Amino acid sequence: MIIKFSNFTDGVHTIEFDEPIKNINLDNPYKGNVVLLVKMDKSHSQIVLSCDVIVKAGYECDRCDENFESILESNFRLIYLITNNPQKTDELNLYYLSPEADKIDLKKDVREFIILSEPMKKLCKEDCKGLCSKCGANLNLESCNCKEENTENVFSSILKQKTK
């Protein structure tokens, strides 16, 4: 995922990459190839990359423990300023390039944005019913005969004190 921008004229260009996940040092839970679509807006003093990345991932549902595949998508923008005095910066997605530079390597940024696109809660479907807490039945596939126990509210004694 290297762009040799010196081969391009000033203006807007579209570049597409389709590479195995191992090329950007990723493995499980990611599967197959990483697809990266880049819109490069190049001028003599800066390069702006608008990127869309798509990758498949295999997860285990947090509610029902079933395996499922999901497609992760991420959009991000990278700005490269071309200057005679390249500087270190703490700004996110802003880089400095010397006028002698002719390539941009996107592997590290693509890898980071893929990892950041992982969902915090991994669900096979949004309305997953999960497992029965008593018998362990997958409530998406079957209903169980467990009876709900009427449990007393753990705060009932405090609530009684409050009403006095």
pLDDT at 67: 93
Counting DSSP H helices and E strands in the chain, the numbers are 2, 7
pTM of the entire predicted model:
0.74
Q: Which of 96, 116, 110 is nearest to 25 (CA)?
A: 110
Q: Tell me what pLDDT residue 145 has.
A: 81
- The mean per-residue pLDDT over the stretch 149-163 comes to 68
Residue carrying structure tokens 């991000």: 76
Of the candidate ranges 9-13, 98-102, 109-113, 149-153, the one whose mean pLDDT is the lowest:
149-153
Please provide the DSSP assignment of 3-61 as one string: E-GGGS-SEEEEEEEEEEGGGGT--TTEEEEEEEEEEEEE-SSEEEEEEEEEEEEEEE-
Q: Looking at residue 106, what is its pLDDT? A: 93
In whole angstroms, what is the distance from residue 58 CA to residue 55 CA? 10
